[in-house]
Amino acid sequence: MSQAFDVVVIGGGPGGYIAAIRAAQLGFKVACIDEWKNAAGGPAPGGTCTNVGCIPSKALLQSSEHFEHANKHFADHGISATNVKIDIAKMIGRKDTVVKQNNDGILYLFKKNKVTFFHGRGSFVKAVEAGYEIQVAGAKEEVITGQQIIVATGSNARALPGVPFDEETVLSNDGALRLGAVPKKLVLIGSGVIGLEMGSVWRRLGSEVTVLEGLPTFLGAVDEQIAKEAKKAFDKQGLKIELGVKVGEVKTGKKGVNVAYTNAKGEAQSLDADKLVISIGRVPNTIGLNAEAVGLQLDERGAIVVDAECRTSLKGVWAVGDVVRGPMLAHKAEEEGVAVAERIAGQHGHVNFNTVPWVIYTSPEIAWVGETEQQLKARDAKYKAGTFPFLANGRARALGDTTGMVKFLADAATDEILGVHIVGPMASELISEAVVAMEFKASAEDIARICHAHPSLSEATKEAALAVDKRTLNF
Ligand code: FAD
Ligand code: NAI
């Protein structure tokens, strides 16, 4: 007799494991199936985010930032650090420890919440009266049933056509996060989030980095003023970003890789490098799910088709996270996972796509929520803008990090905040205040009238809100 569950979650990334925990909290009997293996072949729940995404990239960004500070900025504080060296194996080992702590943490949370964890691949067998039969193929094979199924199978890196990843010379995010040595020359294709974050890591550690971007504009989804400011900072750091290129033939050999491309002027170019990272986006993953067995509908991109509340084409089957439409972000996946578990329980799950924040963890960090100025112009909105530079913020001066600004966009008539855009120190933390404000439909004046601790970077947020009404106090 197969084990029967109220809810079976396929995929244990941020969408899946959080959905499983929330469903268990709501009193359901829950199983979560995840196939990710650690180096020893054991379970490593947490998905892309924990294993080869958010967590390891931030660990390496931290290590490489320390290295850069020791080399370039300690002297400003009167600290001499000569002959600073980096032990790459140790840095990667630390990153792996951080990843393992997170994998173990999720296994602990499953136990704590009485979620039954299966290590293996989950696939649809057939619809039955009690829901769906799901095959689990792991160390042993078994079939379980779930009344409700949540699919959270995530995404995979998109390869350049005709250039498969070998993770030796042609790397996805996976290979880029576990290089054994600093490549002398590194080329990244795509100046999106991964291109900038991974490019920053290896540049700080000594690589000569070139990022080749197909589009003529830099970070098109980011507010133009903020993107311009960020680009200035990256140029100054020596991160070479070529826009408007057309990548041609990629040849790999014993000595590395050669990338042929046409630059924005239409001139033929070629670059030799030790390693090539392809960071041109990700594709939804339904490999091995046997979606066709039950007729689960996919769109032309391979994403599972869902409605605004994550219902698929099949009764009792839901899908969340990177495998469905919307931004491919861990916190978006988590919010959808919680909302689906609550909807299964008959509650009103809630995800506000207008207040999903974005963060790029470069230095300076870039963070935003809501609409950009170019989006407001495109829809002919009447708005007011206010900016405040970190140069005029006491805490930023004390930190020695005055690059960038906070920018507010508010409705011209009602003063409601429409978007907040930050480039500068700790933008990832500062953006939360804007998210809360927008969720509560605050006006710029609401933020301007709130007492902010002094000295803190958050005073730049208050001042930018004051700037909307042209009454900054410190600039
Ligand atoms: P995933 O995390 O991909 O998890 C899916 C899981 O399902 C995996 O464990 C997979 O093995 C498993 N699985 C798939 N099919 C099956 C099956 N049939 N049976 C069993 N298991 C299966 N987002 C942020 O918000 N912030 C960041 O800083 C950030 N940094 C990133 C850095 C990098 C380098 C990358 C690549 C991504 C980053 N992201 C970041 C994006 C983030 O990782 C994803 O949006 C997030 O992981 C999506 O969660 P998910 O649960 O939908 O899927
Ligand atoms: P991306 O969508 O952020 O950027 C891809 C870039 O590649 C774009 O600028 C695109 O114009 C360019 N591109 C596409 N095809 C190209 C080609 N043939 N030649 C040259 N350029 C080309 O995708 P990326 O960086 O791969 O990251 C995938 C996703 O992972 C992100 O969209 C994001 O959702 C998530 N992520 C989030 C992070 C965060 O939240 N801090 C960090 C890293 C990834």
Pocket of ligand 1 (CB under 6 A): 10-16, 33-36, 47-49, 53-54, 57, 121-123, 152-155, 173, 194, 285, 288-289, 321-323, 328-331, 333
The answer to whether residue 163 is domain-embedded is: no
Tell me how many domains the chain contains. 3
Residues 315 and 330 in one domain: yes
Q: Which ligand is nearest to the CA of 281?
A: 2
Residues 291 and 276 in one domain: no
Q: Which ligand is nearest to the CA of 330?
A: 1
Residues 150 and 17 in one domain: yes
Q: How does pLDDT run along the chain (475 residues), one tens digit per residue? A: 679 999 999 999 999 999 999 999 999 999 999 999 999 999 999 999 999 999 999 999 999 999 999 999 999 999 999 999 999 999 999 999 999 999 999 999 999 999 999 999 999 999 999 999 999 999 999 999 999 999 999 999 999 999 999 999 999 999 999 999 999 999 999 999 999 999 999 999 999 999 999 999 999 999 999 999 999 999 999 999 999 999 999 999 999 999 999 999 999 999 999 999 999 999 999 999 999 999 999 999 999 999 999 999 999 999 999 999 999 999 999 999 999 999 999 999 999 999 999 999 999 999 999 999 999 999 999 999 999 999 999 999 999 999 999 999 999 999 999 999 999 999 999 999 999 999 999 999 999 999 999 999 999 999 999 999 999 999 9
CB neighbours of residue 117 within 10 Å = 20
What's the CATH code of the domain at 194?
3.50.50.60
Q: Transcribe 404-439 into DSSP letters.
A: -EEEEEEETTT-BEEEEEEEETTHHHHHHHHHHHHH
Residues 6+ apart with CB under 8 A from 297: 304, 305, 312, 313
Does the pTM exceed 0.95? yes
The answer to whether residue 164 is domain-embedded is: no
Range of the domain at 18: 4-157+283-351
Task: Tell how far the Cα of 192 is from the centroid of ligand 2, in angstroms.
Answer: 4
Beta strands at 317-319 and 141-151: parallel, antiparallel or unpaired: parallel
Nearest CA to ligand 2 atom 29: 281
Judged by DSSP in three states, 353 sits in helix
Active site residue 69: no
The answer to whether residue 474 is domain-embedded is: no
Residues 323 and 310 in one domain: yes
Judged by DSSP in three states, 40 sits in coil
Residues 152 and 23 in one domain: yes
Task: Tell how far the Cα of 209 is from the centroid of ligand 2, in angstroms.
Answer: 17
Judged by DSSP in three states, 272 sits in strand
